[in-house]
């Protein structure tokens, strides 16, 4: 005789429906790593410090020097040529601060400094640099010997031989000497312009001799920046 065992009478416990539902919906606890938490805190702190630094520097002002009047290339900077202005701190400027004005007075403008230009270590120095194998020759010329167009440092010019006053024009093309303008200064008392020219060293003596005679004129060929 075969005996049939009812599965419902088994000794193995069967979970009820409520237990299964609770187990399915129980939240899984995440495992937080201490190192990651510490990194997050450090980033928050650094971000706060950076914000404080930025706000502090942008609201702080610094007193720096500018030129109060035009200063030409090669001119000596005087105390009356300077004034102080306030600029926002934190800017990457190479400007000379107002409390260092004594380091600027008496130095040479290395470039033209229009009024309002910031004074920096790059635009003032001890002296202008003369190119290698070149010399500087000074010529004193009247308005009649110069073009009406104002000259500036770096302009390319030619010094031209001219005949004696009231003399006949030369039968041949006059000799010329190529040069570049180094500095320009007006001598208002004498009614002339004193112009320093950069010339090849082997021509400096010829140019100086002609300039001393006054029988020269200056021709402007190329304006700086063109």
Q: 40 pLDDT exceeds 70?
A: no
Write out pLDDT tens, residues 1-16.
Answer: 555 545 444 555 555 5
Least trusted range by pLDDT, from 41-45, 82-86, 156-160, 197-201: 41-45
Taken in order 123, 125, 131, 137, the sign of the CA dihedral is: positive
- Structure confidence at residue 5 (pLDDT): 47
Strand 134-141 and strand 156-161: pairing? unpaired
CA atoms in the 13 A half-sphere facing the CB of 164: 1
Taking the C-alpha atoms of residue 110 and residue 89, their distance in angstroms, rounded to an integer, is 26
Q: How many CB atoms lie within 10 A of CB 153?
A: 20
Q: Which CATH class is domain 134-222?
A: mainly beta
Phi, psi of 161 (to 5 degrees): -65, 135
Domain with CATH 3.90.1210.10 in the chain: 61-125
Taking the C-alpha atoms of residue 186 and residue 141, their distance in angstroms, rounded to an integer, is 10
CB 139 within 8 A of CB 197: yes
Domain with CATH 2.40.30 in the chain: 134-222
**What average pLDDT does the chain have?**
80
- Structure confidence at residue 195 (pLDDT): 94
Strand blocks (E) in the chain: 61-67, 82-88, 108-109, 124-125, 134-141, 156-161, 176-187, 192-200, 216-222
Given the structure tokens 């073009």, which residue do they identify?
Answer: 147
Instruction: Give the distance, in angstroms, between the CA of residue 67 and the centroid of all CA atoms in the same chain.
Output: 16
CB 86 within 8 A of CB 62: yes
Write out pLDDT tens, residues 41-98.
Answer: 766 767 766 665 555 555 578 889 999 999 888 888 999 999 999 887 655 568 899 9
- Order of strands across the sheet with 134-141? 134-141, 192-200, 176-187, 156-161, 216-222
Taking the C-alpha atoms of residue 192 and residue 48, their distance in angstroms, rounded to an integer, is 64
The CATH number assigned to the domain with range 61-125 reads 3.90.1210.10
3-state DSSP assignment of residue 188: coil
Taking the C-alpha atoms of residue 58 and residue 225, their distance in angstroms, rounded to an integer, is 36
């Amino acid at each position: 005789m075969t005996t049939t065992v009812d599965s419902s009478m088994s000794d193995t416990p069967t979970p009820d429906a409520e237990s299964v539902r609770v187990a399915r919906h129980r939240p899984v606890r995440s495992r937080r790593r201490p190192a990651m938490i510490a990194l997050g805190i450090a980033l928050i702190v650094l971000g706060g410090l950076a914000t404080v630094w930025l706000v502090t520097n942008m609201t702080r002002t610094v007193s720096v020097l500018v030129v109060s009047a035009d200063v030409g290339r090669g001119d000596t900077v005087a105390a009356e040529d300077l004034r102080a202005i306030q600029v926002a701190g934190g800017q990457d400027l190479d400007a000379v601060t107002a409390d260092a004005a004594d380091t600027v007075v008496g130095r040479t403008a290395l470039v033209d400094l229009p009024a309002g230009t910031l004074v920096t270590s790059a635009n003032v120095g001890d002296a202008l640099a003369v190119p290698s194998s070149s010399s500087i020759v000074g010529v004193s010329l009247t308005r009649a010997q110069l073009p009406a167009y104002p000259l500036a440092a770096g302009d390319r010019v030619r010094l031209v031989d001219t005949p004696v006053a009231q003399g006949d024009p030369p039968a041949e093309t006059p000799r010329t000497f190529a040069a570049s303008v180094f500095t320009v200064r007006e001598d208002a008392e004498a009614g002339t312009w004193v112009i320093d020219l950069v010339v090849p060293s082997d021509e400096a003596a010829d140019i100086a001799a002609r300039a001393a005679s006054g029988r020269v004129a200056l021709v402007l060929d190329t304006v700086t920046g063109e």
